[in-house]
Amino acid sequence: MALPDTLIVLLGRTLRGHHPEDSRCKQALLPELDGCTASKVLVDGGSLGRQADYRGDQIERPAQKPRKSKKNPQPHLSAVPKAAKTALSQVRIVVEQAIGGMKRYNILVHGFRNHKANFEDDVIGVCAGLWNFVLSY
């Protein structure tokens, strides 16, 4: 998670390979702890069941374009949901810039051969701290 000024405020555990975003979010923000009730959380379109897992009405998911069917051969979104999707994409750009700022440290970009337990978490934590230090300096 990142703030609008690309300051990194929350890191999840690092895992090798591809893992679904929804299960990783459940590991980082446990539904039992009500971490999503106090703040507004913006999620992408792939998070269909997130409102059922977490309590609170602060979880916002953008509207999706209706499916094409015989009754609706040319589906489209109205202006309001389209503007909401544009606003969400502008927020996502900030988060991607924060991730890219951390990747300026080459240890995150290249694979490294280290056999210490949880060393990847330590490395990404140090890189996030350095990125935040650069922003605050």
Residue 13 is predicted with a pLDDT of 74
pTM equals: 0.63
Q: E strand or H helix at 79, and its extent?
A: helix 79-102
pLDDT at residue 133, rounded to an integer: 92
With a cut of 80, say whether residue 45 has pLDDT above it: no
The rounded percent of the chain whose pLDDT value lies above 70 is 66
pLDDT given for residue 130 in this prediction:
92
pLDDT in tens, 77-104: 888 888 888 888 888 888 888 888 888 8
70 to each of 63, 85, 105, how far by Cα in Å?
21, 26, 52
Gap between the Cα atoms of 14 and 16, Å rounded:
7
Comparing 19-23, 91-95, 115-119, 120-124, the range with the smallest average pLDDT is 19-23
